[in-house]
Structure 1
Amino acid sequence: MPLSTIDPTTALVVIDLQHRILARPVTPLPAAEVVARTAELATAFRTHGLPVVLVRVAFAPDGADMPPGRPVGPRPAPPAPVASAPDPEEITAEIRGAGDIIVTKRNWGAFYGTDLDLQLRRRGVTQIVLTGIATSIGVESTARAAYEHGYHVTLATDAMTDIDPDAHHNSLTRIFPRLGELGTTAEILTLLDSLG
Structure 2
Amino acid sequence: MSDLDIDIGRTALVLIDLQNSNVKRDLAPYTAEQVVGNCVLLAGEMRDRGAMVIFVRVLVDQMQLPPSDAPLRKPGTPAPPPDASHLAPDAQVQATDIVVTKRQWGAFYGTDLDQLLRRRNIKTIVLGGIATNFGVESTARAAFDRGYRVVFVEDAMSSMSAEMHKFACEHTFRIMGKVRSTRHVIDALQAGTGDA
- How high is the TM-score relative to the length of structure 1? 0.88
Question: Which residue of the partner structure matches residue 174 of structure 2?
Answer: 177
2:178 & 2:3 partners in 1: Cα distance? 5
Question: Which residue of the partner structure matches residue 95 of structure 2?
Answer: 98
The number of equivalent residue pairs is 187
Question: Which residue of the partner structure matches residue 112 of structure 1?
Answer: 109
Q: Note closer, same or farther for the CA distance 1:158–1:90 as it changes in structure 2 (3 Å cut).
A: same
1:111 alignment partner AA = F
2:83 & 2:67 partners in 1: Cα distance? 28
Question: Which residue of the partner structure matches residue 63 of structure 2?
Answer: 66
1:126 counterpart (123, 127, 137): 123
* Shift, 1:78, TM fit: 7.5
Superposed CA deviations along residues 97-145 of structure 1, whole A, max 9, x for unmatched, are 1211111111111111111001111111110001111101111111111
Give the superposed CA RMSD: 2.0
2:13 touches 2:54 (CA, 8 Å); kept in 1?
Answer: yes
* Shift, 1:71, TM fit: 2.1
Q: Note closer, same or farther for the CA distance 1:97–1:71 as it changes in structure 2 (3 Å cut).
A: same
Question: Which residue of the partner structure matches residue 75 of structure 1?
Answer: 72
2:60 touches 2:80 (CA, 8 Å); kept in 1?
Answer: no
**2:26 counterpart of 1:25:** yes
1:111 touches 1:142 (CA, 8 Å); kept in 2?
Answer: yes
2:142 counterpart (140, 145, 169): 145
1:87 & 1:145 partners in 2: Cα distance? 28
What percentage of residue pairs aligned between the two structures are identical?
Answer: 41
Question: Which residue of the partner structure matches residue 6 of structure 1?
Answer: 6
Q: Note closer, same or farther for the CA distance 1:13–1:3 as it changes in structure 2 (3 Å cut).
A: farther
1:87 counterpart (60, 83, 86): 83
1:3 touches 1:154 (CA, 8 Å); kept in 2?
Answer: no
1:6 alignment partner AA = I
2:48 & 2:14 partners in 1: Cα distance? 16
1:25 & 1:99 partners in 2: Cα distance? 30
1:170 & 1:176 partners in 2: Cα distance? 9
**2:156 counterpart of 1:156:** no
SS at match of 2:108: coil
2:22 alignment partner AA = I
2:5 touches 2:192 (CA, 8 Å); kept in 1?
Answer: no
SS at match of 1:35: helix
2:18 & 2:26 partners in 1: Cα distance? 13
1:88 alignment partner AA = A
